């Protein structure tokens, strides 16, 4: 599908943030966005890169009432040689369609997803920050916009992509987070939408997140929705526990989001000579293993921070420390290797990187 590029008026060009340490996450957006529409009669049509601006939507639009929405998250990096790299965008395209199917939304050609992003990022590449740890965060999303209050899948959709230059997550160095194992609220249940990247999962997670913050914890670790006994994932990260040379993560069970970073950590772990294991992790056994000193490190994986070391875990009135509260050796190694591949500092032996022209 041809993507037309609409002109950008002088007044629609924003000033870039000069001090890249002030970028933060997802607060600044570039000058242009991609928008493609779908209707039952026409399928996907009217693909255009246009000025970044608000949508005009009917107050009865489906997304506002019944949350027919899915999204993705990936990053573009500007390499030292000037090339612009994306990390495994075809994985995001595939997952986007799995989410679309779960939410009864139309399938988007994977090539349109990847090519649309490449063209948009190519046009906006001057917005990619270059300081260590910074990148251009890419947010594709799809919403149902049909103006009707009947509960049905929408007959009209917007697929859009916006871009946000983001700062270094660990500007002040790697900082281990403290995590509270949630034993009241649940994020997802078998047969629910846990495996789909949909805003509703986040809306329903906010309350637990706020309550954990009030108790002094950074993030919530979710248990399974049936028995509240098995480790699922954290906020927007998959979880890993390191037992010496063995890396353990929760097996994908339909209610856990299948992270691209998770998949990359598993491949990299194997390459580094570790045993990697996807299994059911019983929270009681995990706590006992941590107390017995068997779990040497723990970390989360996700696009935003890549790897997040976990220093503390709280469950039912008890707090345990991991890796002496510092950053484990393997955690550091995985972070350095993944970010090295993404930024071109290390060779990409897996063929994970693709370039924007």
Ligand X SMILES: *Cc1c(COP(=O)(O)O)cnc(C)c1O
CA 195-199-204 angle, to 5 degrees, is: 85
CA distance 166 to 130: 10
Residue with smaller CB distance to ligand X, 165 or 302: 302
- Asked whether position 248 contacts ligand X by CB under 6 A, the answer is no
Buried b / exposed e across 226-236, counting CB within 10 Å, b at 16+?
Answer: eebebbbbbbb
CA dihedral for 121, 127, 132, 135, sign (positive or negative)? negative
Q: Which is nearer to ligand X, 61 or 235 (CB)?
A: 235
Q: State the binding string over 141-180 for ligand X (x if CB under 6 A, else -).
A: ----------------------------------------
Shortest reach from residue 350's CB to ligand X, in Å? 15
Does residue 302 bind ligand X (CB under 6 A)? yes
With respect to ligand X, which residue has the nearer C-beta, 32 or 262?
A: 262
Q: How far is the CB of 10 from ligand X (least distance, A)?
A: 36
Q: Which of 220, 237, 274, 290 binds ligand X (CB under 6 A)?
A: 237
Closest distance to ligand X from the beta carbon of 56 (Å): 28
Of 119, 249, 303, 342, the one binding ligand X (CB under 6 A) is 303
Maximum distance among all alpha carbons in the chain? 63
Q: CA torsion sign, 15 to 16 to 22 to 25?
A: positive
Rounded Cα–Cα distance for residues 230 and 319 (Å): 18
Q: By CB under 6 A, is residue 268 in contact with ligand X?
A: no
What residue number has its CB nearest to ligand X?
A: 259
Residue 261 in contact with ligand X, rule: CB under 6 A? yes
Q: In whole angstroms, how close is the CB of 71 to ligand X at the nearest point?
A: 8
Q: Which stretch binds ligand X (CB under 6 A): 35-43, 104-112, 172-180, 259-267?
A: 259-267
Q: Which residues between 194 and 233 bind ligand X (CB under 6 A)?
A: 197, 233
9 Cβ contact partners less than 8 Å away, ≥ 6 residues apart: 51
Considering only residues 46-75, where is the footprint of ligand X by CB under 6 A?
A: 73
| Among residues 236, 242, 266, 330, the one that binds ligand X under rule CB under 6 A | 236
Q: List, in sequence order, the alpha helices (H) in the chain.
A: 62-66, 89-102, 110-123, 199-203, 206-214, 260-271, 283-291, 329-343
Phi, psi of 198 (to 5 degrees): -130, 140
Q: Which is nearer to ligand X, 218 or 233 (CB)?
A: 233
How far, in Å, are 2, 81, 143, 194, 216 from residue 119 at the CA level? 11, 19, 21, 31, 43
Which CB atom, from 145 or from 306, has the smaller least distance to ligand X? 306
262 contributes a contact to ligand X by CB under 6 A: yes
Q: Is the dihedral angle over the CA atoms 289, 311, 208, 59 positive or is it negative?
A: negative
Q: Quick one: which segment of 61-69, 160-168, 297-305, 340-348 binds ligand X (CB under 6 A)? A: 297-305
Q: What is the rounded CA–CA span in Å between residue 269 and residue 283?
A: 23
Q: Which residues bind ligand X (CB under 6 A)?
A: 73, 197, 233, 236-238, 257, 259-262, 301-303
């Amino acid at each position: 599908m041809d993507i037309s590029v609409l002109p950008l008026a002088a007044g629609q060009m924003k000033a870039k943030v000069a001090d890249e340490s002030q970028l933060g996450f997802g607060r600044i957006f570039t000058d242009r966005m991609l928008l493609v529409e779908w209707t039952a009669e026409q399928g996907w049509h009217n693909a255009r890169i246009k000025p970044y601006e608000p949508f005009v939507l009917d107050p009865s639009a489906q997304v506002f009432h019944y949350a027919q929405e899915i999204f993705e998250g990936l990053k573009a990096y500007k390499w030292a040689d000037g090339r612009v790299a994306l990390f495994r965008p075809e994985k995001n395209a595939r997952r986007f369609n799995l989410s679309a199917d779960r939410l009864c939304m139309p399938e988007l050609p994977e090539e349109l997803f990847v090519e649309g992003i490449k063209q948009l990022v190519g046009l906006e590449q001057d917005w990619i920050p270059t300081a260590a740890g910074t990148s251009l965060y890419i947010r594709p999303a799809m919403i149902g916009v049909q103006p009707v209050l009947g509960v049905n899948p929408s007959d009209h959709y917007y697929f859009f992509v916006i871009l946000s230059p983001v700062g270094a997550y660990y500007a002040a160095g790697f900082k281990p987070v403290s995590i509270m194992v949630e034993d009241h609220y649940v994020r997802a249940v078998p047969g629910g939408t846990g495996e789909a990247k949909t805003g509703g999962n986040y809306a329903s997670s906010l309350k637990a997140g706020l309550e954990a913050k009030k108790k002094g914890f950074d993030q919530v670790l979710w248990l399974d929705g049936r028995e509240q006994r098995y480790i699922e994932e954290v906020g927007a990260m998959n979880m890993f526990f390191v037992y010496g040379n063995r890396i353990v993560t929760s097996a994908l069970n339909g209610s856990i989001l299948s992270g691209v970073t998770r998949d990359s950590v598993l491949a990299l772990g194997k390459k580094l000579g570790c045993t990697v294991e996807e299994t059911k992790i019983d929270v009681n056994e995990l706590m006992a293993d941590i107390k017995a000193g068997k779990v040497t490190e723990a970390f989360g994986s996700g696009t935003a921070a890549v790897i997040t070391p976990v220093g503390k875990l709280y469950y039912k009135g008890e707090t345990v420390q991991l890796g002496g509260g510092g950053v484990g050796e393997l955690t550091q190694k995985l972070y350095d290797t993944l970010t090295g591949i993404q930024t071109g500092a290390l060779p990409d032996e897996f063929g994970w990187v693709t370039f924007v022209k």
